[in-house]
Structure 1
Amino acid sequence: MKLVAVTSCPTGIAHTYMAAEALEQAGKAAGHDVQVETQGAAGSTPLDPAVVAAADGVIYAADLEVKDKGRFAGKPFVDVGVKKAVHDAPGVIAAAVAAVEAGVPASAGPAPAAPATKVDRDAGAGTKVRQWLMTGVSYMIPFVAAGGILIALSFMLAQLAWGGAEGAIEVTGVDATTVVAAFDPLSLQHWAVILLKTGQLSFGFLVPVLSGFIAYAIADRPGLVPGFVGGAAAGFVGAGFLGGLVTGFLAGFVALWISRWNVPKGVRGIMPVVVIPLLSSAIVGITMLVLIGRPIASAMTGLTNWLNGLSGANLVLMGVILGAMMGFDLGGPINKVAYTFAVTGLATEGLQPGAVQYQVMAAVMAAGMVAPLALALATTVRKQLFTHAEQENGKAAWLLGVSFISEGAIPFAAADPWRIILSSVVGSSVTGALTMAFGSTLVAPHGGLWVLPLIGNPLGFVAAVAIGTVVTALLVVVLKTFKHDPLVAADRAADDQALAAQAA
């Protein structure tokens, strides 16, 4: 059969492309032609209309709403989450084939005009909350990434401009308004200030974007305006990302409630343009500014003071906990909680170079790199413990690991959950603790070793990653050595048969 597929995940980075590769390989193994359109963070190249027209069926392996879904109208389809395609691509292909054979047409409609999200309306409350949160986080991350890297570059340039490590602190005390008014393109100090301010402006969108797109996930387009207004109000009173979370949910439910009012026909035309944004923004803004803003701001201040007060063994313990969370579900909800905690900490106002929040970010990223690197190492040193497919995945895991894409270890965890997850948690915990102990810092929220010049104490960071990688790989090898794996045994038998045939 000829099948087409669309893959997408909330962040548009790892699962999107892993699912595409898995579907293509599974389709080829089953004798089908599968062509995939990846709708990721880097955009997408639409499938050729001729390919779509010739397709027998469609696979939607997406956690976001598929763009231009109307192209596939009338074709049999299956609709699964992106992780299902990563973990069980052959099963997804089989389901698509069954849908084609059953001849069930798709009911695809026009693409949404607003930014894409996907929330399963039939899911449980916990799943919906996670999907709403991940929608906000997925749109927030690019702002944090851009702002974080600009600030890191500013600190690096400031050290050159002021002639020492204290330059990274000096630049934070310069009045950007004065520099903008009398900008000198030949001054390194001025460039450092401009980069710092640009990065801070990017960070300034973090809370409104988080709030706005949580509200959008709940109420669709009516939630955007009150969500952004609520996020801005949270930033104004100092409620930070906690305030953004609250206003995102509040705005979403208020906008959803108002949009369901049964109003006269004459009023319906102005509801989405005037009534809903006016009333919902007023309710959310007043609630944040007058009622709940101060208590949440106090909680944020307490959290910041607590973080800044951590030192020594307490920091190492936090590294252990965050590392374990990063290594537990490899890009899943627990992993994302730790990552979101680190990312939102970067946006805390008034941070100085070397702040605890930057240490937290370094520990989280280092720990998130361990699992894929460890599996890549294990498949290299003890190939006989892994299937041919796992050995190939191990080769790809080297690049995924150094790029801080924890999901590179998912195919291994799906095949052997408890051994891989146990090993990953132990090694990632070690790395998180060591990163804290070494005092490494990081302003950029992503990038892995590609942003090594932006890392404080890079040698300590690399050492922590290397040690955790070796610990995890060693545990994987030891645990798998005492396990009889029928798939590995079948691979070995096939190798023996092939060698015997060559000898004959």
Structure 2
Amino acid sequence: MTGLSYMVPFVAAGGLLLALGFLFGGADMANGWQALVTDYSPANLPGHDVMVDGELISFSRSGWMLYLGAVLFATGQMAMGFVVPALSGYIGYGLAGRPGIAPGFVGGAISVMVGAGFIGGLVTGLLAGVIAYWIQTWKVPRWLGSLMPVVIIPLLTSLIVGVLMYLLLGCPLGAIMEGLTSWLESMSGSSAVLLGIIIGLMMCFDLGGPVNKAAYLFGTAGLSAGTQGAYEIMAAVMISGMVPPIALSLATFLRSNLFTPAERENGKSAWLLGLSFVSEGAIPFAAADPFRVIPAMMAGGATAGAISMALGVQSQAPHGGVFVIFAYHPWWGMLIALAAGVVVSTAAVIALKQVAASPKAAVHS
């Protein structure tokens, strides 16, 4: 969780910059963004035809729009390049404190280099944290003690993690990551819908807890690869995560007598949190009545995830909810999936609360 919480800002900034890059420069800009950034400038703007690696490529846009889109996309790519190292580094930090950060970042960078991706980042972060913590338990002379956290521990831990990755773990983890990517790309029809249902259930199970964050990590992990399957998973993650706060806000408006005054007050702002993809907006409702609220939210999340995958909705942004509607394709598919999920969750939570009205709600209604 520590690694994920520190990783999310890199994902959010990088993903939104990538989406803005596509918005300004067009989808085909990704085919030559390096050349557009390095070979051109504000005083030398690109035209429609640009030489990329010795080949003349035509772009749909030109001038400032194409150049600015490439700059935004390049900045997003740099931010996304830190995602796996940040995940690994702060997993190490969560386990061993400051001495685990550097080895974790080193291991994460090696994971990217050998193609192990976020799976390698998870493994190297755990390795760095455990090894650094173990070395901290060594009994050393007092004169050496001051050097341990800043020199000895990072040095030895980075050495061990690097050797393990290059000699033993890199190839197997890379093969696992490649297999996962191939599996995502091969999904279609019923298998894609099933994955959408699973994602929706996970996103709405604990509303920001470990299960929710695991699903979010699964969605964001593939964004840097830029594949269609990864974009579809990211869309399912974000759409299903928006459902609970919106549905509960709508339910408090439609049947306010089923909710306590505090829940009604929370409902006034929960819809905005939901539209912003902040699932935690539903936590006060779930904490007060988990056995009825959580199943209802999971039903809507599964519906939204399934419809999103069935319609092939893609999201190039990892956060932002409906406020990054330009990053969805097709955008209308996102609205349909979200609306369906909200309707199912709203109807379900009202029905479940009517079966046995909450005593607190009854007293305060």
- Identify the residue that residue 7 of structure 2 maps to in structure 1: 140
Task: State whether structure 2 residue 218 is matched by structure 1 residue 218.
Answer: no
1:405, 1:187 → 2: CA distance?
A: 34
- Identify the residue that residue 239 of structure 1 maps to in structure 2: 116
Task: State whether structure 2 residue 178 is matched by structure 1 residue 298.
Answer: no
- Identify the residue that residue 453 of structure 1 maps to in structure 2: 326
Match of 1:156 among 6, 17, 23: 23
Task: State whether structure 2 residue 276 is matched by structure 1 residue 403.
Answer: yes
The 8 Å contact of residues 84 and 118 in structure 2, kept in 1 or not, is answered as: yes
Shift of 1:177: 4.5
Which amino acid in the other structure matches residue 323 of structure 1?
G
Match of 2:206 among 309, 322, 329: 329
Provide the aligned length of Structure 1 versus Structure 2.
Answer: 346
The 8 Å contact of residues 87 and 125 in structure 2, kept in 1 or not, is answered as: yes
Shift of 1:400: 1.2
Match of 1:359 among 211, 232, 253: 232
Which amino acid in the other structure matches residue 361 of structure 1?
M
Shift of 1:178: 6.1
Match of 1:431 among 282, 304, 329: 304
- Identify the residue that residue 362 of structure 2 maps to in structure 1: 489
Match of 2:137 among 260, 267, 276: 260
Q: Per the alignment, in what secondary structure is the counterpart of residue 356 of structure 2?
A: coil
- Identify the residue that residue 205 of structure 1 maps to in structure 2: 82
Task: State whether structure 2 residue 246 is matched by structure 1 residue 373.
Answer: yes
The 8 Å contact of residues 258 and 357 in structure 2, kept in 1 or not, is answered as: no
Which amino acid in the other structure matches residue 142 of structure 1?
P
- Identify the residue that residue 227 of structure 1 maps to in structure 2: 104
- Higher RCO, 1 or 2 (CA under 8 Å, sep at least 6)? 2
Residues 442-484 of structure 1 deviation map (CA, whole Å, 9 limit, x = unaligned): 1111111111122111111011111111111111111212214
The 8 Å contact of residues 18 and 73 in structure 2, kept in 1 or not, is answered as: yes
TM-score for the superposition, normalised by structure 2:
0.91
Shift of 1:329: 1.3
More helix by share: 2
Q: Percent identity?
A: 51
2:309, 2:335 → 1: CA distance?
A: 13
Structure 2: stretches of 5+ with no match in the other structure: 46-62
1:333, 1:250 → 2: CA distance?
A: 20
The 8 Å contact of residues 193 and 306 in structure 2, kept in 1 or not, is answered as: yes
Task: State whether structure 2 residue 32 is matched by structure 1 residue 174.
Answer: yes
Residues 285-344 of structure 1 deviation map (CA, whole Å, 9 limit, x = unaligned): 111112100100000000000000111221111111101111111111111111111011
TM-score for the superposition, normalised by structure 1:
0.67
Shift of 1:265: 2.3
1:226, 1:462 → 2: CA distance?
A: 43
1:490, 1:256 → 2: CA distance?
A: 53
Match of 1:279 among 156, 165, 169: 156
For residues 89-128 of structure 1, the aligned pairs below 5 Å read none
For residues 23-102 of structure 1, the aligned pairs below 5 Å read none
1:310, 1:487 → 2: CA distance?
A: 46
The 8 Å contact of residues 33 and 74 in structure 2, kept in 1 or not, is answered as: no
